Amino acid sequence: MSREEWRGFGVFIEQDEGVVEETSLEILGRIRELADKYNIKITSFVLTDDINRIIDKIRYYGSDEIVYAENSLFKTYLSDVFSTALYRLVSKYRPRYLLLPATRNSRDLAGRLAIMLRTCLLAHVISIDIDPETMRMNAAVPGFGGNIAAVCECVTMPEMATVSPGVFTPKIRKDIEPKLINESDLTKDLKTLMRKISRTSVARPDISRSEKIVVAGAGCIKDLELIKRFAKIIGAEYAVTRPVADAGLAPRDLQVGSTGISLKSKLVIVLGASGAPHFVSGIRDCGTVVSINIDPDAPIKDFSDLFVVGDLYDIVKKLIDRLGG
C-alpha cells in the first residue's frame, strides 16, 4: 500500500558499518525548522545491517518517523542494492521533498534514484527553503567555481537534492519521539551483482570540522614537509589547494574549495595560494584568515584578515623556531 500524494520531507540517513554520516543529521537540523514552520512531516530512511547499532545515534534529531530496512547487504554501500532498496521505500512513502547528503556514496545513490523515479535532482545545495506560494523547494546550487549560485527548483516529484556537508547544524530534539517502522520485508529479495574485494582505510582527519587549518598552495610544492611540520606544531590540520592535489601530491580529501572541502575553522593560514575563486569559496566560513604570499597583488589579499607579503618558507621557518619546533 502506497501513500497517494507526494507529501512531507524525506531524508536519507547514510551510514557505513554503523557510523552515521553527520551531513544527514545536519539536513535534519535545517528541515526541522521548515517542517515546524509549514507543519510538514519528516520521514527518515535508513538502510542498515543492524538498526540497533545506529538507532541511538539518529533517534532524536527531529524525525517524525524513521523507516528502516535491515539486510546484511546494507553493511556498507553497494550502488545497485542501495538504489533499488531506497527506490522501493521512497515509492511507498512518497515524500514530496527528498534530501540526501552530498557525499560520494550518496551522490552515486541519488544520481541513480533520480532517474529511477523520473525526477529532478539538485546537486550539493547550500541552502534549502520553501516558496510559500507554490510550496516548492528552493535550493541554491553553487557553480562556476564557487562564486555564483543558482537558486533552483524542481517541477517533478519528489523534489530531490543532495546537500553539501557542513552547511547546516544538527539539533537534538528530545521532544519529538519518532515512530519506528520496519520495512525489511521490502528489501528481503535483493541481490547484488557487485563484489567488494577489499577496503583500505587511509587515516585522515575530517578537515571540514577542524578548528585550525594550514593550507598549502602551489607556492609550497618545493617543501610540503615543512608546511606539514608547521601545522603539527601549532596543532592545526594540514590541507591543500587544488593545484597541489591535481599534481598528485595530496589526496582529494585534503583539498579545499568548491570542488573539495569547505572549511569552517576558527583560523586558517593560507600559504602560497593566489586565491582563485574556487579556492576562496572554501574558506568563506572561516573565522580568521591569515595568508602569506610573495606576490603583493595576489587576489588572496582581499580575502584575508592578515596578508603577509614575503617568502613563505622564511616566515614559516621563523615561526617554527619561535614556537618550539
Partner 1 sequence: MSPEPVYIVTMKVVPKTEEIRFDPVTKTVDRSKATNEINPADKNALEEALKLKDKYGGKVIVLSMGPPFFEPFLRTALAMGADDAILISDKALAGSDAYVTSMVLAKGIQKIGGATLVLCGEESSDGSTGQVPPGIATWLGYSLATFVSKIISLDLENKKVVVRRTIKGGYEDIDLPLPAVLAIELGINTPRFPDFRRKRWAEKEYKMTIWNIHDLGLKPEEVGLTGSPSRVKTLIELKPPERMRKIITDPDQAVEEIIKIIKSIK
Q: Check residue 311 for interaction with partner 1 (CB under 8 A).
A: yes
Sign of CA dihedral 260, 123, 83, 27: positive
Q: Check residue 88 for interaction with partner 1 (CB under 8 A).
A: no
Tell me whether residue 107 or residue 173 sits nearer to partner 1 (CB atom).
107
Residue with cell 540517513: 13
Tell me whether residue 165 or residue 170 sits nearer to partner 1 (CB atom).
165
The least distance separating partner 1 from the CB of residue 175, rounded to whole angstroms, comes to 32
The least distance separating partner 1 from the CB of residue 284, rounded to whole angstroms, comes to 5
3-state secondary structure of 48: strand
Q: What is the DSSP string of 230-299?
A: HHHHTT-EEEE-HHHHHTTSS-GGGBBSTTSBPP--SEEEEES----HHHHGGGTT-SEEEEEES-TT-G
Written as nine digits, the cell of 1 is 500500500
Q: Which residues within the stretch 91-110 sit at the binding site for partner 1 (CB under 8 A)? A: 103-105, 107-108, 110
The least distance separating partner 1 from the CB of residue 56, rounded to whole angstroms, comes to 22
Tell me whether residue 3 or residue 204 sits nearer to partner 1 (CB atom).
204
Q: Check residue 314 for interaction with partner 1 (CB under 8 A).
A: yes
The residues with which 238 forms a beta bridge, in sequence order, are 214
Tell me whether residue 62 or residue 213 sits nearer to partner 1 (CB atom).
213
Position among 28, 54, 89, 121 found at the interface with partner 1 (CB under 8 A): 121
The least distance separating partner 1 from the CB of residue 199, rounded to whole angstroms, comes to 5
Written as nine digits, the cell of 104 is 560520494
Buried-state track 204-225, b at ≥16 Cβ within 10 A, e below 16: eeebbebebbbbbbbbbeeeee
Tally of CB atoms within 10 A around 86? 26
Encoded one letter per residue, x for contact with partner 1 by CB under 8 A and - for no contact, window 55-84 reads ---------------------xx-xx--x-
Kindly state the number of chain residues that form the binding site for partner 1, as judged by CB under 8 A. 94
Give the separation between CA 260 and CA 267, rounded to whole angstroms. Answer: 18
Encoded one letter per residue, x for contact with partner 1 by CB under 8 A and - for no contact, window 163-202 reads ------------------------------xxxxxxxxxx
Tell me whether residue 103 or residue 187 sits nearer to partner 1 (CB atom).
103
Q: Which residues within the stretch 253-292 sit at the binding site for partner 1 (CB under 8 A)? A: 253, 258-259, 266-267, 269, 276-278, 280-281, 284, 287-290, 292
Quick one: how far is CA 325 from the chain centroid? 34
The least distance separating partner 1 from the CB of residue 197, rounded to whole angstroms, comes to 4
Written as nine digits, the cell of 51 is 538498526
Task: Specify whether the CB–CB gap between 324 and 231 falls below 8 A.
Answer: no
Tell me whether residue 51 or residue 261 sits nearer to partner 1 (CB atom).
261
Terminal-to-terminal C-alpha distance of the chain = 66
Q: Check residue 315 for interaction with partner 1 (CB under 8 A).
A: yes
The residues with which 291 forms a beta bridge, in sequence order, are 270, 307
Q: Check residue 111 for interaction with partner 1 (CB under 8 A).
A: yes
Tally of CB atoms within 10 A around 242? 22
Task: Specify whether the CB–CB gap between 216 and 223 falls below 8 A.
Answer: no
The least distance separating partner 1 from the CB of residue 67, rounded to whole angstroms, comes to 23
Q: Which residues within the stretch 17-56 sit at the binding site for partner 1 (CB under 8 A)? A: none
Tell me whether residue 32 or residue 86 sits nearer to partner 1 (CB atom).
86
Q: Which residues within the stretch 123-162 sit at the binding site for partner 1 (CB under 8 A)? A: 123-124, 138, 140, 142-156
